[in-house]
Structure 1
Amino acid sequence: VTLASTMAFSMVGCGNSDSKSEGKKDDGTITLNVWHQWSNDTNELKGRYEEAVKAYEKDNPNVKIKTETLDTEAYKTKINAEFAGDAKGIDVFYWWGAGTAKKLVDAGKVMALDDYLTDDVKSRMVEGSTSAFEYDGKLYSTPMFSWYMTLFCNKTLFNKAGAKLPETYDELVDAVKKLKTLDGVTPLAAGAKDGWNAAFVYQALALREVGATGVNEMLSGKKEFGDEGYKKAAQKVSDLYKLGAFGENPLEQGNDDANAAFENGKAAMRIMGSWFANNVYTDEAATVNPEEVVALKIPMISDGKGESTDYCGGYVESFWVNNNTKYKEEAAKFCIYINEKMGVASYETGSGFSGWTTKADESKLNPLFIQIKDLLAEGKQGVLAWDTSLEAEPAAVHNEQVQTLFADGADINEFIDEHKAAINGK
């Protein structure tokens, strides 16, 4: 999960793109260059990160943290460019595990943390939260938070259109037809200009057509991409486009546009990660009444292989250590620290579910996030976003191909063939 927004490189109040590690000063103080993708000042996690850094520097006066930020898509581009070299200006950085990090791990670009994990730290990590960070028996990061793919619905618009909140795909189609009659309302804001947004819609339907077991076997390489359910899911996305579910030109609207459309009552539905619940409650520009927003599971498909307990989501985002850092121990300790702090912060702010058993303050959890928490409690098998599970090249093909489903003339057979070539290697 995807999680990615949109790009044009510019450092945000943090120096320039070729800043280098400042090294150890005469007083013994060292500077760690830390990069992350919480660039928006309205993002609560950015504020919580800054609080955690201040606390860390107070407790560790010999360490100073210098932070660089970019929005998600520009951040991904810049990090990949840096690690094409030795990334000397980076000590600790935010990244995604599973297939996304595999290339960096295989190239020896990131450092395993096993030597720095105390029994106390290990005891605080949620069981089953580290699989996306394990490679060849070594742990390269600790968990931060997990997410849960949710169908957010505006009850006011549904009531106005006389539509039922959808529990099945057929009910979703019926709701789209009725919501289309509302002036100026898009039934389902897709944000398809950003490939990962388009992919979320497809992956939601593929989960219900193929089932979590089948999708996970494909993503892990145990089974080839080829189940008929993948084709059915692609056809359903194309059918929804033709029906007008995503508005007239969904490829012209990105993630931020789609979020704004839902938050301002211009879209009735949004398929997005659990973190979006926080947007609904904290975005000062939003006009939607948060109490009129409901969180639902992805609708079931009557003849699909998916179970109602299958869900999209899991632990995949975290901070990692550059293997070329001059300060391996200090970087590892901060990496572990900030993952735990931000895991707890994500839960307390209603953005995600902590990968740590560390006590958290639940007093400010918004009702929408609690709804998602209850949905997650029913989940049994999760599937990570495909662009984090797959390696870089097939992930890129996937995100590009799903966008073709949000336009006229979609070729479903070509969509399947391109996926087979990228994922199966033939």
Structure 2
Amino acid sequence: MPGISDSTWDRRGVLRAAGGLAALGALSACGSNTGRGGGGSGTSIKQMYHAYGEPGTQQAARKFAKAYPKADVSVQWIPGEFEKKLFTALLSSDAPDVFEFHPQIHLAHEKQIVPLDDILKDVKDDFNQADLASHTIDGKIYGVRMIDDPQFLFYRKSMLKKAGLKPPETLDELIDAAEKLTTGKVKGLYLGQTLQALQSPLVWSTGADLLTPKHEIGYHTDEVVAALRKMRRLYAGNALLKGAPTDFWDPASFTQGLCAMQWCGMWAMPQILQAHGDDVGIMPWPSSGGPGGRPVVYNGGWSAFVSSKAKDVDAAKEFVKWLWIDQKEYQREWALDYGFHIPPRKSVAADADKLKSGLAAEGVKLFEEDGLFDDPAWTQSMITTLTDVMANAVRGDADPDAELDKADRKINRELRRIFG
């Protein structure tokens, strides 16, 4: 159940969503009758999910919808290009009433979503406060966090031991370890097909932020430039697994022995443990060095939002409250029975016995010590722009400082559009 956006999707297409009639047709083809609720009031609610990869997730979503007594809830299960199809739908007359996504400021500023302070007011203290902060825009809370999905570097303990290595604590040590762990058909490290999943952790690991508290560019520093150069050296070498059949969110490359280390999420932990047992460790993305360097656990996740175009906004909010605030057993099931995720509700997390021992407990500890959350002001177009930097300066051989200069111009335009 990946807790971040599928990095192989065309993010440029997201920004052209208003003209995406083909995508809208594909969305309609997904159907809206995959999980009818049991309500008899005549009220209908359309709920949109991205297609989670873990077996049982779609059936669970349909079960939750059917159990809701006050409306007929339909489940749209969207395979591939979820963001593009979601953004297209939000601009159409066929917008979902409730959907899952990540907190982004433009959705609130463009009045595509509604505040949910009223349904959260009595339980705010029971939520992870960092989750609430990441969903707070202009003093109002948009979205109810469903799951927290920390991401780590998974590694094979036996392989590191055989190579005489300890878990790397800096980017230089990680590159060195990846090179020493590369033997025959086994590569030292897998970071995904495009490296997009590492772009925020890489910036954070230097001590920089994507944006400053004043909503100014924070990522363009000498330390980030140096880190990009190191990543280029890694990519140009022989230690990085390339051309894997699936992206970073799928642990198949790691479980099948194609690599000694892989960046992946807590959601994959049960599969990884089943494949390798106790021969697995986890670590944060290591510090990129320098006085401000820090280890990073990126905290992805998914949240429930209510569309401003909902046929009945109050009914949609009531459904979100019922499912993601009132139904703790469903919240526990969603977080723990289909991969491992950290429940954002403190009271639900307190009963999450599966996360209290072994590798899962280590993951929770790293999440609490080194976890960093999305900034809602870091918008979809900014993500795309930094993805281009990674493509050109790491997967390609362009000068990273020049690429960041280009990014600055685009992102400053976006910042002026949002904040004036």
TM (norm. structure 2) is 0.81
2:362 is aligned, of 371, 392, 395, to 371
Matched-pair contact (CA < 8 Å) for 2:115–2:142: yes
Change (3 A) 1:258 1:313: closer
Q: 1:111 is matched with which residue? A: 114
Which position in structure 2 is the counterpart of 1:53?
Answer: 65
Question: Match of 1:335?
Answer: 320
Do 1:30 and 1:64's aligned partners in 2 also have CA atoms closer than 8 Å? yes
Displacement of 1:375:
1.7
**Partner residue in 2 for 1:81:** 88
Tell me: CA distance 1:372–1:140, structure 2 relative to 1, closer, same or farther (3 Å): same
In structure 2, the gaps of 5 or more residues are 11-21, 415-420
Would the aligned equivalents of 1:146 and 1:313 in 2 still touch at CA under 8 Å? no
- Tell me, in whole angstroms, the C-alpha distance in 1 between the residues paired with 2:401 and 2:383: 19
CA distance in 1, matches of 2:211, 2:9: 33
Instruction: Pick one of 34, 46, 54 that aligns with 2:47.
Output: 34
Measure the CA separation in 2 of the matches of 1:257 and 1:343. 22
Amino acid at match of 2:361: I
Unaligned runs of 5+ in 1: 283-287
CA distance in 2, matches of 1:239, 1:423: 26
Which residue, 94, 98, 101 being the options, matches 2:100?
94
Equivalents in 2 of 1:26, 1:275: separation in Å?
32
Q: CA deviation at 1:123?
A: 4.3
Output the aligned Cα RMSD.
3.5
Q: Deviations over 1:329-387 (max 9, x none)?
A: 221022233334565345434532222123354333473222111222333x6243x7x
Question: Over residues 104-127 of structure 1, what are the superposed CA-to-partner deviations in whole Å (9 max), with x where a residue is unaligned?
Answer: 2222221222344452x3343233
Residue 359 (str. 1) matches residue 366 (str. 2): no
Matched position secondary structure for 1:275? helix
1:307 aligns with 2:299: no
- Matched letter for residue 403 of structure 1: A
**How far apart in 2 are the matches of 1:104 and 1:255?**
27
Partner AA of 1:243 in structure 2:
G
Preserved contact between residue 116 and residue 329 of structure 1 (Cα < 8 Å) = no
Residues matched between the structures, number: 393
Q: Is the 8 A contact 1:225 1:420 kept in 2?
A: no
Whole-Å separation in 1 of the counterparts to 2:88 and 2:215:
27
1:226 and 2:216 matched: no
* Distance verdict in 2 for CA 1:116–1:303, change over 3 Å: closer
Instruction: Work out whether residues 225 and 424 of structure 1, in 8 Å CA contact, stay in contact via their aligned partners in 2.
Output: no
Alignment of 1:63-78 (within 5 A): 63-71=71-79, 73-78=80-85
Q: Which residue of 1 aligns with 2:191?
A: 190
- Secondary structure at the residue paired with 2:303? strand
Q: Residues 230 and 253 (structure 1 numbering): CA distance in 2 closer, same or farther, change over 3 Å?
A: farther
Deviation readout 1:129-164 (Å, 9 max, x if unpaired): 212222222222122222323111122332344433
**Contact 1:153-1:269 at 8 Å conserved across structures:** yes
> For residue 291 of structure 1, what is the aligned residue in structure 2?
278
In structure 2, the residue corresponding to 1:143 is in which secondary structure? strand
Following the alignment from structure 1 to structure 2, what is the Cα–Cα distance between the partners of residues 219 and 3?
A: 24
Aligned-residue identity in percent: 20
For residues 85 and 345 of structure 1, the distance between their equivalents in structure 2, rounded to whole angstroms, comes to: 33
Secondary structure of the corresponding residue to residue 359 of structure 1: helix
Q: Which of 187, 204, 208 does residue 205 from structure 2 map onto? A: 208
Deviation at 1:15, TM superposition (A): 7.0
Q: Which secondary structure does the structure 1 equivalent of 2:314 belong to? A: helix
Is the Cα–Cα contact under 8 Å of residues 141 and 336 in structure 1 kept in the other structure?
no
Residue 417 of structure 1 deviates from its aligned partner by 1.7
* CA–CA distance in structure 2, aligned partners of residues 239 and 273 of structure 1: 25
- Partner Cα separation in structure 2 for residue 219 and residue 253 of structure 1: 39
Q: Which moved more, 1:235-244 or 1:415-424?
A: 415-424
Query: Does the 8 Å contact 2:232/2:397 carry over to 1?
Result: no
Deviation per CA, 1:299-332: give whole Å up to 9, x if none. 2344241235xx3434762011111212222210
Task: Give, in whole Å, the separation in 2 of the partners of 1:199 and 1:218.
Answer: 21
Aligned-partner SS, 2:366: helix
2: CA distance, partners of 1:185 / 1:315: 28
